[in-house]
Amino acid sequence: MAKSKVKFICQSCGYESAKWMGKCPGCGEWNTMTEEVLKQATPRRAVFAHSTQTVQKPSPITKIETTQEPRIYTNMKEFNRVLGSGIVKGSLVLIGGDPGIGKSTLLLQVSSQLADNHHDVLYISGEESVKQTKLRADRLGVKSDKLLVLSETDLSFISKAIEETQPSFVVVDSIQTVFHSEISSAPGSVSQVRESTAELMRIAKTKGIAVFIVGHVTKEGSIAGPRLLEHMVDTVLYFEGERHHTYRILRAVKNRFGSTNEMGIFEMKEVGLEEVQNPSEIFLEERSKGASGSTVVASMEGTRPVLVEIQALISPTSFGNPRRMATGIDHNRVPLLMAVLEKRVGLLLQNQDAYLKVAGGVKLDEPAIDLAVAVSIASSFKDAPPKPTDVIIGEVGLTGEVRRVSRIEQRVTEAAKLGFKRAIIPEANIGGWNAPKDIEIVGVKNVAEALYKTLGG
């Protein structure tokens, strides 16, 4: 008879301990250690005997033959872009996001489109009944006999349903509700999530079925459960956005079959999610022209250039220590760039509060936005608005120099499409590429020169 032993496992990071502890040594969280009963597997000899029967001989990598399998496309070009230009057969995709952000809506729409393209899809809901799923399907206009719906949480019954229906795609909503009957811990625990994901991965790889699983997120915004969950899957997607705003951003943070920096933008409407083909127009449509502290930067999100507005508000402080707040960019970058402006340009900013925001809810983390942030700060401090037809691109060093950025041609071309007349770029990026005819290219060497050409001094 299989022996069982008790372990205490952290529900945040998966740290295992033989005894209970109030604070997890792995992640430092309090009261996350829960008791789980682990059943010991078959004897060691039996495992080795079984493994020797199925072992494969190593082969030279030059002798291995590969076949280029075509990707499967949905009607959502933004969804295809984030996945790396389509769905790969046998892949395991994890989608995480805040409650109510639209994860189930997105996957039900994708399932409907795949079913309309004559693919068999099995949608498994562990949080809703079949009738509740049908109510959402009616609202989204889902009508296809190829889309099968099942409300189940037992992994053995889920595996049996997949075996009987033989679908091309499987959606599991969500992985935290699925449980393995041979594990005594509660659904959503580290052991259950790990074993359930491992079984779904086995199904995906052996049968060539593309499996999408929904993962809950913690209050910090990361996917709940062990970090191992993200390592096991092929692709990790995060669905971001404010519940009170209509725009949603689907971002890839891991992708074995494509770029890890792609971003897809959707708009939530009454009939479901609709993709935004040109996000630059959306982010700039409510821009106040002629306002100080407002600049536009061309940022790269994966392979796509996106124009966004950076806003800055500089005001005298009423506290002992000035406040530095930023939304959409790294808050550590704000005091760094303010120190460069104070030391290299001579702006007295040490007694000023600074508030910065990226309009539209986008998060920017590349160095090419440094110059636009610096110009926004100086513009608000001097109350001198830059030209509304300027786009500013460049990385700023600690000595005040403006450094080269990548893919400058794509950034400038996107700005020209949206009617911008002048691009302030690093001087090192001038030459070696063809600029559009209807936009003026201005190269700058340092921050002081950039401020002179954008703000007039």
pLDDT at 133: 93
pLDDT at 39: 59
pLDDT at 287: 85
pTM: 0.75
| DSSP tag of 344 | I
Spans of all domains in the chain = 4-49, 71-277, 282-455
pLDDT at 26: 83
Q: Which two tokens stand for residue 133?
A: 């799923």
Binding residues for ATP: 97-104
pLDDT at 129: 93
Alpha helices in 247-286, H assignment, sequence order: 279-284
C-alpha count within 13 angstroms, C-beta hemisphere, residue 389: 10
pLDDT at 244: 62
DSSP secondary structure string, 104-161? HHHHHHHHHHHHHTT--EEEEESSS-HHHHHHHHHHHT---TTEEEEE--BHHHHHHH
Binding residues: 97-104
The crossing angle, in degrees rounded to 10, of helices 190-207 and 155-165 is 10
How many C-beta atoms lie closer than 10 Å to residue 214's C-beta?
Answer: 25
**Digitized pLDDT (tens) for each residue of the chain, 457 residues in all:** 455 678 888 877 778 888 899 998 888 888 888 887 765 554 444 433 444 445 678 889 888 887 777 899 999 999 998 998 899 999 999 999 888 889 999 999 999 999 999 999 999 999 899 999 999 999 999 989 999 999 999 999 999 999 999 999 999 998 989 998 888 778 888 888 888 999 999 999 999 999 999 988 776 666 666 667 888 899 999 988 766 667 888 988 899 988 877 888 898 888 889 988 888 888 888 888 888 999 999 998 877 899 999 999 999 998 888 999 999 999 999 999 999 999 999 999 999 999 999 987 788 889 999 999 999 999 999 999 999 999 999 999 999 999 999 999 999 999 999 999 999 999 999 988 988 988 999 999 999 999 999 998 5
Kind of pairing, strands 422-426 and 390-392? parallel
pLDDT at 49: 41
Q: Which CATH code, of 3.40.50.2300, 3.40.1280.10, 3.30.1360.80, 3.40.50.300, is assigned to 71-277?
A: 3.40.50.300
Domain 282-455 is in which class? alpha beta
